[in-house]
Each structure stands twice: as structure tokens, then as C-alpha cells.
Structure 1
């Protein structure tokens, strides 16, 4: 019994909230990542339940959410989510998970929930080797990605992933320093399946921000003033032809 109580308290502390004696909804931030793709990353409602269990997100408006049912006796949890089609019920199993700092995760999925203001921030994330080449030394973005301008909505409200690249051809999508070809230069390269946050748009070009899966790029919260994106993630312009929009 003592072990069960201790595990429940540990889970609550890592999620940034006190132990709930009854169901309670608080504001915070959530992350849902399944098979290397991030479906939810930013502000969300969190339903706290006795024993350390919780629900990340609420699924309203066709959004994603997940439930994590903690077993205090084993220190593991069973997680479910509402699937790629953002259904109204969390019927798709994510399997058994173990606690990983402020998250619960296994080899194929991760569910995180943080009370507002408690999410750890990444100072200078970089893409893993092989996911994209490094920016060429001395090159910088010529047309900044402008984000924000609302107190109600996230700084960037769109998301998608790269598709349609021919592996028999170049096999990569150039990230440009501005919305077009010449005179703009190539800053980076993306590949099929790479995820991006869509923050700006000019004609057929998207201004995007991106980093390793699960990275907090500081775009999933309101920025009242419109301003140029300066990090911590990478940013540039890509052609919308090769982006499948999943959010926004």
C-alpha cells in the first residue's frame, strides 16, 4: 500500500500538479507523439484523476487527446488515444508505458502533461544526424518567418509533414531563405515524413519552423505581438506542394 501511494505522488509531482482527490481540470501543456509523429504539442486542458491518472487534451473541435491510467502497484500505465482521425473517444491503445520525467512513454509513443508554466524548455535543439543537413555556414534567412499577433490563439496554428518526394530523384525538399527560388538560398533540406509547424504563408510558399520530434519550438502558445521567429528551432520557406497539412 505504501508503495502504491508513493508511485501516485511521484507521478503527480512529475506532471507538475498536486495529487487530485477528485477529477479536476486544469490548464497546461500537452504532448502526444505516436510512431515518431507529433499530434498534439502545446496548450491544452488536463483532466487530473485520483491516483495520478490523467487525460491530456479533450478532443473538442476534432483535436487529439490521450488517456493515461496509472497502476500504482506496478508503477506503469495503460494509455489510449483517439487515433489519427481524431475520433471522439480514446479507443486506440498505445500500450503499457513507463514514467519518463514529466511524461509516460514506450518504444512507439509518448504522452506528456504539464501544468501551465512547468514545462521544461529546450534551449538550443538541433535535428538528429541524418534527418537534415546542417545550415551552410554564413547563410541566414532573408525573409523572416512572422508569428504571433493574438492573445487567444497559438503563435503558429498550422502543422503538417513533408510528402511526395521522389526517392529516385533528389529525394529532398529545399528549405529556402525566402519564399521562392533565386535569389534566395538553400538553408537546409527536409525529407518525406519530416514534420513542420506552419507559421507564415506567401503565395505557394509556407514559412515553417521545425525540430526533432517532441521538441518545444515555442510556437504552441499565444504571442500577443507579431514578430519574427528567432528560435530555438530552425525556420525557413518550403513549397506547399510537398506539405500535407494535418492541423490548421
Structure 2
């Protein structure tokens, strides 16, 4: 093989690096309707009871999970799912949303991951104070 064909072959195999694969989502959406079709989709309401700042909301029930939001002391949240020391919550966001807008205060036919319109995530259960439920 001559020099020119070898250079042409080398140029065909060299190019920009392949794009990175899209990251796999590690988000674990809290389930609603776990208490059955006769009860509300989320069984209780709690208040954030973190006195030393804001409570981090995690994407899944693990201390190392990404933080998706923070909630201030005394913010109200729906209690929907639980795993170990973590509580799966649903909560309103923005100034034009309140707890009633989250669509979890009525029964649903079967359990499923929460799909809006409010925000959701996981917080440490020890940092919650039960209000109703």
C-alpha cells in the first residue's frame, strides 16, 4: 500500500468522537393510590419540619440522589409513598398552585406513578410533621 492510500484510509477512521449516550434517568417517581381504590390517592398531609434551613427534595429515596428542589420550613406536602426512612411526596410549586391542585385528594382505580401537575420527590421522613391522614 502506498503512502497516499494509507493516509486516505487513516482519514476515514479518524473523525469527531461519537456523542455520549443520553444519560439514563435515575428519577424514581413516588407512587400514588397505594392504599387502594377506596381511599385517597395520597393518604396524608405533612409539614416540612426542618428548622436549620430548607429540606432537600431528592429524585429517589437515597441520600446520594440528585437534589431536584428544596422546600422551606412549614411547607405543606402530600404523603404518597414510602421507602425505609424516605417519604415520597407531592407538593405544589409556584405562587399559583396549592395542595388542592395536585389531584391526589380523591381515590384512583389502581396505583401508578404520580404524573402531575404538581412537583414530586423524596424527603427524609424524620423531617416531616404529620398534619392530616
TM > 0.5 between the two? yes
Whether 1:146 aligns to 2:31 is: yes
> Could you tell me how far apart the structure 1 residues matched to 2:26 and 2:85 are?
18
> Could you tell me how far apart the structure 1 residues matched to 2:99 and 2:125 are?
23
> Could you tell me how far apart the structure 2 residues matched to 1:154 and 1:210 are?
15
Deviation (angstroms), 1:236: 0.1
Equivalent residues of 2:89, 2:123 under 8 A apart: yes
Unpaired stretches in structure 1, ≥5 consecutive residues: 1-137
Deviation (angstroms), 1:213: 3.1
> Could you tell me how far apart the structure 2 residues matched to 1:148 and 1:187 are?
23
Compute the TM-score of the two structures, normalised by the length of structure 1: 0.40
Compute the TM-score of the two structures, normalised by the length of structure 2: 0.73
Query: Corresponding residue for 1:174?
Result: 56
In the alignment of these two chains, the number of paired residues is 105
Q: Which SS does the other structure have where 2:62 is aligned?
A: coil
Higher strand share: 1
Unpaired stretches in structure 2, ≥5 consecutive residues: 1-22
Larger RCO: Structure 1 or Structure 2 (Cα < 8 Å, ≥ 6 residues apart)? 2
1:218 pairs with 82, 103, 128, which one? 103
What does 1:1-248 correspond to in 2, within 5 Å? 142-149=27-34, 150-166=36-52, 171-182=53-64, 184-211=65-92, 212-248=97-133
> Could you tell me how far apart the structure 1 residues matched to 2:99 and 2:119 are?
14
Equivalent residues of 2:77, 2:99 under 8 A apart: no
> Could you tell me how far apart the structure 1 residues matched to 2:76 and 2:54 are?
13
CA RMSD of aligned residues (A): 1.7
Which of 1 and 2 has greater Rg? 2
Query: Corresponding residue for 2:19?
Result: none
Deviation (angstroms), 1:214: 4.6
Q: Which SS does the other structure have where 2:68 is aligned?
A: strand
> Could you tell me how far apart the structure 1 residues matched to 2:102 and 2:26 are?
17
Mean Cα displacement is larger for which, 206-215 or 216-225? 206-215
Higher helix share: 2
